[in-house]
Amino acid sequence: MNIIAEKYVKLALNIGNYDKDFIDAYYGPQDWRPKSKSGEFNDSIYQILNQQVDSLLDEMESLSVYNAAELEKLRYRYLYKQLLACKTRIFMLNGVTLSFEEEAKALYDTEVPVHNEDFFKQTIEELNKILPGKGSVTDRLLSFKDKFRIPEEKLKAVFDAAIKECRNRTLKNMQLPPTENFSVEYVRNKPWGAYNWYKGNFFSVIQVNTDLPIYIDRAIDLAAHEGYPGHHFYNALLEWNLYRKKEWVEFSVYLLFSPQSLIAEGTANYGIEVAFPGSERIKFEKEVLFPLAGLNPDEADAYYKVLDLQKNLSYAGNEAARNFLNGKWNEQQTVDWLIKYSLRSRESAAKYLDFIKQYRSYVINYNVGMDIVKNYIEKNGGTDENPSKRWELFKNLLSTPQTPGGLK
């Protein structure tokens, strides 16, 4: 298995030579990287890479009946699914166009539920009843949320406080790798809201995009999702437990378009609930973050009532990606849908479409990924009433080889 794992890493790095987004992180041996930058992807390159991945899949299948311990079985399943994602990405680089549903299954090991317009209309009608003012629900929502925008000059203080609290809560329940740390940068002109660039040696660079308004709830969302107990912590635990201690070299590379991303995004989003169960989040924000941002904490309850309803609308982004990538909608129809059913501003809808065009079906990893992680943890006893069990199960997901299909 170790020999296959080494070949897998080198194959992934070669694919990344032709796909700039494929390798999200790599901290393995530097001499494994391709010696030179790639030229244009062509049929000859396709044949070489496809033959390599098929050979590795054949080797994996020859091992499928071997008697292994549970952790080794998880490792086998993880590596096999990652190789299938490699094969899929090679096909896509060669011009094969998959449907949204086929792509999500092949790359992220999951089926994507369909949500029709009635699902979103029901939520929007509930919002219509509680939002103040006149006009469209989208305009009223944006006007309402504007009162909870963090002033740009106060972003750093608010984020620093949120990060500190997320880290302290994580430390109470999980051991952090030695010397772990990260830096935060504020950037512009990106298709995403925030990004964790994991550098290895337990260090990350977290970038926060300030193109669009950043509302007060995003402080905890981003601090937990990108930091603790989210992406930074997830990558650090995998490096610590699997790459450093077990010398499983496949965990020296993180492939963005792979089942690992659904686990990463799902745990990062669910980690917010794990760190702040029940009413603990709103209590902390009222007492600490609202005052730091110069906002009125007396309005926090009304704000979170609106946000709780708005969560259902995240699935509208999946439907936008489904119809756009399947060729049913053009760009204007997709933006109009996002404005109507995600209740986004036109600027925000256009930014989301940019994300779809660059990352395609990746959008499902945030909400479908969270649903899979949440259901797995809660059906195994990690409920609000048993927070210690929830942390135990969550830690296991972050520090062992997992696949979405294995959590169902």
User: What tens digit of pLDDT does each residue of 313-360 get?
Assistant: 999 999 999 999 999 999 999 999 999 999 999 999 999 999 999 999
What's the confidence (pLDDT) of residue 279?
92
- Closest listed residue to residue 363, CA positions, set 235, 265, 270, 229: 265
**Are 346 and 283 members of one domain?**
yes
Domain count, the chain: 2
Q: Which residue has the higher pLDDT, 36 or 179?
A: 179
**Are 81 and 130 members of one domain?**
no
Half-sphere exposure of 286 (CA within 13 A, CB side): 13
Q: Is the pLDDT of residue 36 over 90?
A: no
- Closest listed residue to residue 87, CA positions, set 62, 59, 52: 52
Q: Label the pairing between strands 181-187 and 203-209.
A: parallel
**Are 52 and 150 members of one domain?**
no
**Are 98 and 218 members of one domain?**
no
As to burial, measured by CB atoms within 10 angstroms (0-12 exposed, 13-18 middle, 19+ buried), residue 111 is: middle
**Are 82 and 229 members of one domain?**
no
Half-sphere exposure of 108 (CA within 13 A, CB side): 28
Are 204 and 197 within 8 A, CB to CB?
A: yes
Read off the tokens for 75.
Answer: 């490792």
**Are 254 and 277 members of one domain?**
yes
**Are 87 and 205 members of one domain?**
no
What's the confidence (pLDDT) of residue 66?
60
Distance linking the first and last C-alpha atoms of the chain = 25
Q: Look up the domain containing 384 and give its range.
A: 117-407
Of 75, 108, 141, the domain-final residue: 108
**Are 217 and 269 members of one domain?**
yes
**Are 93 and 43 members of one domain?**
yes
What's the confidence (pLDDT) of residue 408?
81
Global confidence as pTM: 0.95
d(CA 235, CA 88): 24
Of 85, 108, 131, the domain-final residue: 108
Classify residue 278 by its DSSP letter: T
318: number of Cβ within 10 Å:
22
Average pLDDT, the chain: 95
**Are 131 and 180 members of one domain?**
yes
Mean pLDDT over residues 98-124, rounded?
A: 96
Of 108, 125, 148, the domain-final residue: 108
Q: Is the pLDDT of residue 62 over 70?
A: yes
**Are 271 and 177 members of one domain?**
yes
Are 284 and 166 within 8 A, CB to CB?
A: no
**Are 122 and 145 members of one domain?**
yes
Q: What percent of the chain has pLDDT over 90?
A: 94
Q: Is the pLDDT of residue 161 over 90?
A: yes
